[in-house]
Chains A and B, each alone.
Chain A
Amino acid sequence: MSKKYTFYPGCSSEGSGMHLDRSTRAIAPKLGIELEDIDDWNCCGASVGHLEGGRLGQAALSGRNLAQAQSQGPQDVVTACAACYLNTHHTNEDIREDEGFKAEVNEALGAAGKSYDGGLHVRHMCEVLVNDVGMDKIREQVTNPLSGLKVAGYIGCQTVRPFAGTERGGNYAEYDDPDFLDDFIEATGAEAVEFKNKTSCCGGAVSVIDPDKTLHLMKRILDEAKDMEADVIATPCPLCQTNVEIYQKNVNDKFGTDFNIPVVFHSQLMAVAFGLDPIKDAAFDQNIIKADVVMEKAKK
């Protein structure tokens, strides 16, 4: 029995976060998740769209996606990207709670003959894995346990803040010490090391704007992963993955460190643990710092 969702891949799925998208689509059928993309989806505006477009401009972006999703059916909208989730969920909730805002979003949508009534539920893929799929079903799929692998579970910010502890956010995680990523890691047969920085910030878009300002934030994450002797850092967030990976050299140059820690997605670990192909399905060809330590464990 599979359950159908309308899927919002988001812009990073076509660029820096392609391996999140590929590995998510690879594990979904194993977990009874059927994904149908929002047709002709557009950008959510991320953390910066509002600077030029304003609050309503940013909301209109999510409005168009939600209107299109609703025309494809009443099933829940799900996304694997932290920022896509945050923006789309935030706008959706505001449309549901604020009649004036709903009217303005709909006036904007009306310029293209579209409308949206707030009837959908926007969810993060991690929350779907916890609440709809469940840990037991994830464990059942593991045919190739990643025994001996030590993983630092790094969730980052927007996957959990500010919605993971709210009712419509699925109420599935605490803000400062969430368990679900460690649970995913342990389910794959790997060891989740104690990791206090699990919801520390990597610098987000500010890292892309001016990495020098945020390298110390990334160093803090890398320091603890190294102290805990983690083989890899695993994260559900496409921007966290990219930042902590591509700026490791900058951290090393600035602080005289020698970090070379692979940063992978939880979905890549799951794909390998489910016995899927490490390249075709888990997309390990797209990690810049090669995660040989995981690929070696793939089913031959």
Chain B
Amino acid sequence: MTEIRVENLTITIGKQKIVDKFNLTFKPGEIWGILGANGVGKTTLLHTLTGLRAPDNGKVLLNEINLKNVNAKKRAQKIGLLAQDTEFSFPSTVFETAMIGRYPYAKKWFGELREDIELINQALATMCLTDFIHRSVGTLSGGEKRRLALATLLTQDPDIYLLDEPTNHLDLSQKIRTLSLLQQLARERHKTIIMVLHDIHLLRAFCERVIVMDFDGRCDYGDVARMLSAEHLSQIFPVETLQFLS
């Protein structure tokens, strides 16, 4: 089981402080939501937690080891990122795309291990993509591409799932299916789920704890009921948005 902890984490872009002296421990099996206005730095925070970006100050610790000292492949075995957008510039099949999730474990130059192939098939089945296995990625719809990106992350099988708007392009039933699956991963396999979500209803239904980010670099966090109370939400959203929500 893997624990990720941030200690005095400070992230700046230019002169803007995205995160200022943030301290928090994400324990195995927890489901966290990240909420904040557009451009507040949610993606940057996720990238820092993944190790794609070095913090400007403070540390990200993976099982008490500074993330910058962890070998990149070992890190990818523990932390997986679902990026906000996925590039599909080159033609490839659904199976080939899902296969890249096994890269951090790759031992052989040629051929894939039988366990890897089983895992890929399983992940594609979980995301209802078995029928598309030999289809070219270019022919998939936006929602199918998103499910494929999620299947690739399942193939990677990390301990910590960092998901940047995982429900983008998904229809309502696929949204519920995907979030239920993540909930199941946290409960049954003690995976840590940290995801950026914009939908308050989905946050309430699927997350246990929420981080609310603001433009001053503050990251307020706590129990979902408290963080998504009218009082807290009024600090993020304008009155007309809250009227619509209620």
Whether A associates with B in a native complex is no
